Chain A
């Protein structure tokens, strides 16, 4: 009895061992994982805050008006229809007059339109549908403005929660780039980063400015740091009032500017 049990156990162990050996993971090589790509997440404004140039607006509106006029008064397809009638026949004068009349009365053009090819038909502009199109356009614009309104609300919400939007940040950067005269005598092989914390008024003027690594200012061998810090402070003062967003004072009333001359001087 015990012998048969022992044999059975041994047999089972042997079977289990065999199955383990034939498992796919025992033979397959580990899967090659693709290299990890680091992705920087940046915040992009939901709305681009590019001011709409008044001149551009005028031009666009004018163009729109012209388009409308052309389509209403002289549909391009109707002109083409005149071509077959070009042979001057004595009875033509009356017809021509009629055509002119027909041009002004879109309803009467219909029979001529029927003569056009299928392709042209597609291109043809149906004057009867102008009103409908305008209405549709109205609906569409209404929808987009609605959408925009909702977007602005959401963007404001998001920008309140997080920092400045990309376009707001860019505007501020561009302003300070122009004001900062980097001292050209700075050593190339040193840490040329100055961090300044600002407290701002709602109009962008500076209430308080504080150099974060103030201890470095007077430490030996760091004479260049004082010069760099002073140049950064000069830049902020020259630039004020800073180009801050008109809304969301709470989120930017305190701000940290990291002036880094490393890239500029080391090239």
Chain B
């Protein structure tokens, strides 16, 4: 009986398979790499606050700041507001997706602002226009003067929701502001938002300052300053303005950088024509020698997990990049290409090292894997160096100098940014000439 049943089912299966079709499978391996078209509607102002003229403009300003961030990122294409059909108020409540589809928008940002007990309340929504649904909605309350910061936070949230990685808009950049003739430059420490606004000077310009670097908490800055013609590594608290010398070294210290936990400063100490890498614990003030070699070892940079250090050294005869364990053991040369390599900076993602390369008198900013493979040169110029990573590891900021003529005119130094694709290169506007930029981590984590 069971045998018969089994045979029957087998026959049935063998017949039935003749009438079923194999699932059609299609591989889509190509697509459109153009920036995503996004519409950022002006944030509408609550009717109770329309009389307040200053406040009335904030809604439009916030949307402009968001648009600016998106445009600079190179990943989004903010659409012209002139093509918007729907009023901001209605769009925020329930957008007519067909209207937004018509102007080819794939995502839409709408929002509303109101003043509640002297506090600014900003509400925003992100809509997937094609799927016709809301995909993100958040509200923030802050003091009205803080509206720019809110715009950056909204940009970060939208960026993260649409790209899958954290944004980098709510960040600051510390740099060296330069003014005056090339042989007598006045250099001050300056800090600004990543889009160039809210510029502030941290030092007066009496002493020469170089290579400022943020601590992971963004509250402290370590930099090199010449005090009484002696270059030393300093530590500055941005909020209190208190400044101190790092360590009691008998000679010159330079190229400082924080460890990922913010507890140590790693730097170079030069004595008698030899420079080695040292760390100083900021809590215990204990100084530790990391490298011990008769060559020049400098520009140390920790990996994000704090286990490795990348640095450059001329121990092979030419300046090249090396990687070692954080205790100084297991030193390995990672660059073998033609030219000189310097200023290695470990990516916050941990997968890449950015560097400056000099070859045949030209300067390149490039990236490579941490073992030195996969070198990619992103940009080339007459003089450029000192790359610093955005907190999400997608963009590099660096400075570029232009050549001066025989009279010494025409010299300038400007900040530039480039993303990992190497295509989205742009200048960052600064009030004065600028060099040695360092990107902070995200202010809101």
Contact = CB atoms under 8 A, between A and B. Distances in A.
Given A182-B31, A256-B24, A230 B131 contact: yes
Contact of B30 (A225, A256, A264): A264
Given A184-B75, A227-B162, A234-B106, A173 B24 contact: no
B36 interface: yes
A254 B31 contact: no
A56 B74 CA distance: 43
B248 interface: no
A41 to B, nearest CB: 14
Interface of A is mostly: helix
Interface stretch (A74-82, A112-120, A161-169): A161-169
Contacts of B164: 183, 185-187, 223-228
A173 B27 CA distance: 8
Contacts of A172: 26
Interface string B136-159: 000000000000000000000001
B165 A238 contact: no
B28 A254 contact: no
Contact of B106 (A181, A225, A255): A181
A180 B24 contact: no
Interface in A111-137: none
Interface string B109-132: 000000000000000000010110
Given A184-B75, A226-B164, A256 B32 contact: no
A163 B28 contact: no
Contacts of B82: none
- Most chain A CB within 10 A, of B75, B164, B349, is at B164
Interface in A136-165: 160-164
- Most chain A CB within 10 A, of B25, B106, B162, is at B25
Interface string A220-259: 0001111110101111011000000000001110111111
A179 B163 CA distance: 17
Interface residues of B, number: 35
B102 interface: no
B83 interface: no
Contacts of B22: 162-163
B32 A177 contact: yes
Taking residues whose C-beta sits less than 8 angstroms from the other chain, chain A's interface range is 35 or more
Interface string A70-101: 00000000000000000000000000000000
Given A182-B31, A185-B165, A251 B128 contact: no
Contacts of B37: 181
B164 to A, nearest CB: 3
- Most chain A CB within 10 A, of B26, B30, B421, is at B26
A109 interface: no
B305 interface: no
A183 B24 contact: no
B351 interface: yes
Nearest to A160: B21
Interface string B355-380: 00000000000000000000000000
Contacts of A259: 28, 31
- Most chain A CB within 10 A, of B29, B37, B128, is at B29
Contacts of A164: 24, 26
Contacts of B394: 185
Contacts of A237: 130-131
Contacts of B159: 185
Contacts of B26: 164, 169, 172-173, 176, 255-258
B6 interface: no
Contacts of A227: 161-164
A177 B28 contact: yes
Contacts of B36: 181, 183
Contacts of A251: 21, 24
B117 to A, nearest CB: 36
Contacts of A256: 23-26
B24 A252 contact: yes
Interface string B13-55: 0000000011111111111111111000000000000000000
Contacts of B165: 185-187, 223-224
Nearest to A196: B28
Contact of A181 (B23, B32, B128, B131): B32
A189 B351 contact: yes
B21 A255 contact: no
A211 interface: no
A177 B30 contact: yes
Contact of B25 (A163, A179, A180, A235): A163
B375 to A, nearest CB: 14
Given A182-B32, A185-B163, A254 B23 contact: yes
A235 B257 CA distance: 45
A58 interface: no
A186 B163 CA distance: 6
Given A164-B26, A185-B159, 6 more contacts: A172-B26, A173-B28, A184-B75, A227-B162, A256-B26, A264-B29
Interchain residue pairs A-B with the least CB separation, the first 10: A185-B163, A224-B164, A180-B31, A227-B164, A182-B31, A234-B130, A163-B24, A255-B24, A256-B25, A177-B30
Interface of A: 160-164, 169, 172-173, 176-187, 189, 197, 223-228, 230, 232-235, 237-238, 250-252, 254-261, 263-264
